[in-house]
Structure 1
Amino acid sequence: MTETDAVAERRPAYLSDLAAGTERFFEERRETCAWCDSKRLEVRLRTTDLLQHKPGSFVLESCQDCGHVFQNPRLTGEGLGFYYRDCYDGLGEKNMNSMFEGNRAGYAGRARLVASLCSPGQWLDVGTGHGHFPRDAKKVLPGTEFDGLDMTDGVELAQQEGRIRRAYRGDFVELAGELSGRYDVISMYHYLEHTPEPKRELAAAAAALPPGGHLAIELPDPESRWGRLLGRWWLPWLQPQHLNLIPIANLREELAALGLTVVAEQRAEPHSAIDLVAATMLAVNAATIGGEDLAWRENRPSRTRVLLRKLGFIVSIPAFVIAGLVDRLSAPIGRNHGMSNAYRVLARKPPATKRPPH
């Protein structure tokens, strides 16, 4: 099936979903912070879906007490299903796979951080997607068995491809009880920001770890200066998929409250030098989106619009090149001066206390 056929096949279902508007996809706006319940909120960002260009507008608010940034009003389960559809799988699978393939150095860096402090036998990667991280982590930790968990069928494809040993498809909080005590390491790499209740996810992970086990987390950094400079064009805001963006201090505090000890942090190393080039591509894509065949629009674009879109990207190539050079040249200095777009935290559950001999 061609891409054009795939779009045409999905169009009736999308148009049916949109016939009643997008308002039903949102919960009521909350008056308090989604992390600390403070009432001191301010609007951080108003934007649209810059990745898929599905209809709707989204607001990120920030807490003036704890710094937490969250989508408000938040999408309902039905809304999440609508906006995730064809993003990581289906129509969007090819583009997303290309993006994930481009982060291989980051995957190795995640594995090396854990390997520097322990030698895990069993590792569960929560939110594994198509298993790109476990595939590359095996090269750093060849003695470790990797399993994966995800809500989409990508995790089953990862198992078929041999990237993970076993696939779990479903909600981590619901499955955590049966997985308890099985894994020396549970990882959540760019996962928590997608969850409606990240504190529940952390509590479930802490409970599922065996004594002495490790929880590995990587998140976009909402305190990055790139977020201020680029505004709605900063890719890690990623609306509407990212529901919660957690400052590192908040994560530390919550891990401590769960009885976990932070044993390592990285704020510069996880940085991916793509901020400006990604923003440029998002902007050009938005300016020429009329020429893309989208299943959630009634009609296919005219040939003229398609041609103008192609020309728009061609004439923007110098801008992409310059933006990419700025990203690369600024990264060595910027990542150590508040410009890193991500951070990593590794926390340990206390080992079991030995009973004194009688």
Structure 2
Amino acid sequence: MGELSSTERSFDGADEEDRRRTDYERELAGLLAQGMFCGPRAGTCPWCGHPGPGFRARLVDTRQCKPGVFDMDECRSCGHVFQNPRLTPAALAYYCRDSYDGLGRDHYASVAEYSRSAQRARVRLVTAHRRPTSWLDVGARQGHLCREARRMLPGTRVTALDPSPEVLRARDRGWTDEADQRPLTRFAEDHPGEFDVVSLVHYAERTADPRAQFAAARRLLRPGGVVLIEQVNPLSRYADLHGRYWYCWLAPQNLHLMPADNVCGALGELGFTVADVRRGAANKPFDNVAALLTALNHRLPPARSWPWSSRRASVAGRAARTAAMVLAAPALALALAVDSLLHPLISRGGGGNTYRIVAVAR
């Protein structure tokens, strides 16, 4: 897997493009040839063990347009939605690569800059329950939540945990005090009871065993410490309305989508007291406009050539894409307006696209 570390370098020149394309093709072929792409199909729910999960959705990678088709099943008993069969860790790394680092670093950074208000809301939600002296952000990516936590909480020591080298850059920029690339479960073995706050923002969905991640968070917290969990809500009506183009599927990176009640029950079993659950209030008002943009991105000719895609960018293709985006502008504006108008209504209910949970360690 190490041969693709060159994605940290600039992406220019036909030779570099061809070399990277060869690397991606070789890696995918190797995963398939060695049977390392996905595990066996599960016949029971990975959350509650109930047999006979039902089919929920068939998805593709609509973000980076990497190859593959991925099925999501749903437990008929507890409502847990999960990828079935599930990608192996090596295959998941293939799909995550260049999403938040490498070739996708600048794009992700530009999008994340628009989420400052959401990051501040997360900090305020936590401090309503605990004023921390130490905070661990798990799945920190480029460190944007860490940056806001340090700005809003002077004197709080913030640690970023993520497998990406981006966390090291966050430390070098002064956005976080410490950075670590180890898995959460391994990190927890070495740092029991050292933190007042552990945040898992859109992290547990992308792990093979979310319960193990929650247990590791409990191990890291002092008594009275707070865990903040933010996840995609699989009960959102937009999931079925928009089908594969629902932005929050984030296929194939999201392996599990858990109803909030399931997570609250698990936290109670692990020694937490659930203090706050934000369902509609955590909604991100972009479902319709994001679905339209996602569909356009997936269907239109690419704006540039990517090393993992067989679709090559061309002058004609770029012109067609630009023309289509111009023609779609009124529809995009309407979708954005609908999202804004419906947001107050959704915020008062429980069917938003995201939920946040704050739980206190007993």
Q: TM-score, normalised by structure 2?
A: 0.92
Pairing 1:248-267 to 2, within 5 Å after superposition: 248-267=260-279
Q: Does 1:64 align with 2:76?
A: yes
Alignment partner of 2:21 out of 5, 8, 11: 11
Shift of 1:276: 0.6
Shift of residue 2 of structure 1? Answer: 5.6
Q: 1:320 matched to which residue of 2?
A: 332
Q: Is 1:34 matched up with 2:54? A: no
Residue 100 (structure 1) aligned with residue 94 (structure 2)? no
Kept after mapping to 1: 8 A contact 2:282/2:352: yes
Q: How far 1:9 moved relative to its partner?
A: 4.1
Choose 289-298 or 335-344, whichever is displaced more: 289-298
Provide the rounded CA distance (Å) in 2 between the counterparts of 1:14 and 1:217. Answer: 33
Question: Matches of 1:191 and 1:8 in 2, distance apart?
Answer: 33
* Partner-residue secondary structure (3-state), 1:75: coil
Structure 1 unaligned segments of length 5 or more: list them: 351-358
Contact 1:40 1:63 in 2 (8 A): yes
Equivalent residue for 1:271, pick from 249, 267, 283: 283
What percentage of residue pairs aligned between the two structures are identical? 37
Q: Is the 8 A contact 2:136 2:199 kept in 1?
A: yes
RMSD in angstroms over aligned alpha carbons? Answer: 1.7
Q: Which moved more, 1:3-12 or 1:271-280?
A: 3-12
AA at the equivalent of 1:342:
T
Contact 1:126 1:191 in 2 (8 A): yes
Q: Which residue does 1:301 correspond to in 2?
A: 313
Q: Select which of 349, 352, 356 maps to 2:361.
A: 349
| Correspondence for 1:116 | 128
- Supply the distance in 2 between the matched residues of 1:296 and 1:194 (Cα, whole angstroms): 21
Q: Is the 8 A contact 2:301 2:313 kept in 1?
A: no
Judged with a 3 Å threshold, the aligned counterparts in structure 2 of structure 1 residues 36 and 270 are, in CA distance, closer, same or farther, namely same
Structure 1 outlier segments of 4+, above 6 Å: none
The unaligned stretches of length 5 or more in structure 2 are 1-8
Q: 1:20 to 1:182 in 2, by over 3 A?
A: closer
**When the two structures are superposed, what TM-score results if normalisation uses the length of structure 1?**
0.93
Deviation at 1:306, TM superposition (A): 2.3
In the alignment, is residue 83 of structure 1 matched against residue 95 of structure 2?
yes
Paired AA for residue 300 in structure 2? T
Shift of 1:278: 0.6
The one-character-per-residue Cα deviations of 1:118-139 (angstroms, maximum 9, x if unpaired) are 2111111111111101111233
Distance 2:159 2:299 in 1: 41
Match of 1:306, SS state, is helix
2: distance between equivalents of 1:26 and 1:155? 28
Letter of the 2:215 partner, please give it. Answer: A
SS of 1:269's equivalent? helix
Greater mean deviation of Cα atoms: 120-129 or 23-32: 23-32
Residue 18 of structure 1 aligns with an amino acid whose one-letter code is L
Taking the aligned partners of 1:261 and 1:174, their CA distance within structure 2 comes to 24
Deviation at 1:163, TM superposition (A): 0.6
* Deviation of 1:266 (Å): 1.2
Residue 355 of structure 1 corresponds to which residue in structure 2?
A: none
Report the residue type matching 2:117 in the other structure.
A
- The one-letter amino acid of 2:320's match is L
Is contact 1:42-1:64 (8 Å) kept? Answer: yes
Equivalent residue number for residue 235 of structure 1: 247
